[in-house]
């Protein structure tokens, strides 16, 4: 039976964001990495979390419509003609 | 004269919707360090290309942020209205915050005004959500019980494999819509934080400044959100539509 103060898989799952954001205290970080080294499912979980984050950063951008773009140009030209005093 | 469809678009300076820069929360950025600094100077001089560059740089994110609170069609109006505010206020912009932080604080004010006009409640509940009772990242039955003789709180049902090359599949249109659906299904707080942090790539300081939350709140909400999105993908890759 592992000692009770050892980091469990459930603990690791709850600390994964702190770990990835670099805000996990050094002592916890050591335990986290020790656990990972011997636990393939937790390694897989971390890997999937990284892939999820990366995929979110690559979602297609919203685009503003051509009409809206023309509207903005018009707004700009009006502003330029009558800038606030 | 303003174009007819702009209505009362060009208001006088001092418009209450343009926040006083001193009250804009967010990281203090010396103007010299602001990637938009050169454009600010040119914009003040009435340089159209500078304006269009700023629009190009920020409008997509503005639309995404506004779309979290109001319908898409209204979001476009809000974005347009925000640029009016930017032009009105740019002469008085002193770089106490980054231009981006300032632009998005104008956007948020416009979203709130719009929400009131439509009698929709605009949640902005990041703070409330962050302090609410925390539910675990995964359902408890994914783990063995605390009194398991050998492996307390270790995996009962480990993460499902995502196959040999999930990177490619993660870029497919189908998976992308799955991700977007999972984000849309989140409660307001986690949804706001994950959209700004992971989808738009904002820094913690920028996210906290815009939403008025602490870095700790931000991580709590981000954790909840990421856990749910990963779980949705796990369900998707396992072949189930859940």
Q: What is the pLDDT of residues B135-162, one digit of tens each?
A: 899 999 999 999 999 999 999 999 999 9
Highest mean pLDDT among A32-46, B11-25, B87-101: A32-46
Looking at the complex, does the CB of residue B90 fall below 8 Å from at least one CB of chain A? Answer: no
Q: What is the pLDDT of residues A40-75, one digit of tens each?
A: 999 999 999 999 999 999 998 878 888 888 999 999
- Range in B28-32, B91-95, B104-108, B179-183 the model is least confident about: B28-32
Residue B241 is predicted with a pLDDT of: 45
**Which of the residues B13, B71, B227, B233 would you substitute to probe the A interface, choosing the one with the greatest number of A C-beta atoms within 10 Å?**
B227
pLDDT for B110 beyond 90: yes
Residue B112 is predicted with a pLDDT of: 86
- Range in B35-49, B105-119, B123-137, B208-222 the model is least confident about: B123-137
| Cβ contacts of A84 on chain B, cutoff 8 Å | 12-13, 88, 91
Report CB contact under 8 Å: B63, A85: no
Shortest Cα distance from B50 to chain A (angstroms)? Answer: 11
- At B24, is the pLDDT very low, low, confident or very high (cuts 50, 70, 90)? low
Looking at the complex, does the CB of residue A66 fall below 8 Å from at least one CB of chain B? Answer: no
Residue with tokens 């670099």: A22
Residue A5 CA to chain centroid, in angstroms? 29
Looking at the complex, does the CB of residue A36 fall below 8 Å from at least one CB of chain B? Answer: no
Looking at the complex, does the CB of residue A34 fall below 8 Å from at least one CB of chain B? Answer: no
Task: Please state, in angstroms and as integers, the Cα–Cα distance from residue B219 to each residue in B68, B138, B179, following that order.
Answer: 20, 17, 20
Nearest to B153 among A10, A73, A80 (CB): A10
Kindly give the interhelix angle for B173-184 and B215-237, rounded to the nearest 10 degrees: 130
Residue with tokens 């299904």: B185
| Cβ contacts of A79 on chain B, cutoff 8 Å | 10, 84, 87-88
Contact yes or no for B21/B31 (Cβ under 8 A): no
Q: What's the whole-number mean pLDDT along residues B165-179?
A: 91
Q: How far apart are CA B149 and CA B40, in angstroms?
A: 65
Looking at the complex, does the CB of residue A27 fall below 8 Å from at least one CB of chain B? Answer: no
Residue with tokens 């090359």: B165
Report CB contact under 8 Å: A10, B175: no
As for the ipTM of the complex, it is: 0.89
Task: Please state, in angstroms and as integers, the Cα–Cα distance from residue B54 to each residue in A77, B59, B60, B133, B209, following that order.
Answer: 15, 8, 11, 40, 20
């Amino acid at each position: 039976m592992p000692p009770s103060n050892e980091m469990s898989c459930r603990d690791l799952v709850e600390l994964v964001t702190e770990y990835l954001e670099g805000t996990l205290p050094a002592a916890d970080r050591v335990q986290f990495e020790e656990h990972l080294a011997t636990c393939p499912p937790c390694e897989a979980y971390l890997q999937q979390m990284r892939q999820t984050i990366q995929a979110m950063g690559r979602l297609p951008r919203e685009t503003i419509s051509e009409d809206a773009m023309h509207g903005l140009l018009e707004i700009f030209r009006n502003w330029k003609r009558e800038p606030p005093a | 004269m303003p174009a007819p469809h702009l209505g009362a678009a060009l208001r006088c300076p001092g418009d209450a919707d343009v926040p006083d820069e001193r009250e804009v929360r967010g990281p203090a950025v010396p103007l010299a360090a602001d990637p938009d600094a050169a454009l600010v100077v040119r914009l003040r001089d009435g340089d159209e290309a500078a304006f269009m560059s700023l629009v190009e740089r920020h409008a997509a994110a503005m639309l995404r942020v506004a779309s979290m609170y109001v319908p898409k069609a209204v979001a476009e109006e809000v974005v347009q209205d925000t640029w009016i505010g930017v032009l009105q206020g740019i002469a008085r912009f002193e770089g106490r915050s980054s231009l981006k932080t300032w632009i998005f604080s104008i956007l948020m004010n416009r979203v709130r005004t719009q929400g009131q006009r439509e009698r929709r409640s605009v949640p902005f509940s990041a703070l409330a959500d962050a302090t609410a009772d925390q539910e675990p990242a995964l359902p408890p039955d994914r783990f063995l019980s605390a009194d398991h003789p050998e492996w307390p709180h270790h995996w009962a049902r480990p993460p499902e494999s995502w196959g040999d090359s999930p990177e490619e599949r993660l870029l497919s249109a189908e998976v992308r819509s799955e991700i977007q659906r999972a984000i849309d299904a989140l409660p307001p707080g986690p949804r706001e934080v994950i959209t700004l942090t992971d989808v738009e790539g904002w820094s913690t300081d920028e996210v906290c400044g815009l939403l008025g939350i602490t870095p700790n709140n931000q991580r709590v909400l981000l954790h909840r959100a990421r856990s749910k999105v990963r779980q949705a993908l796990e369900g998707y890759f396992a072949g189930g539509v859940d």
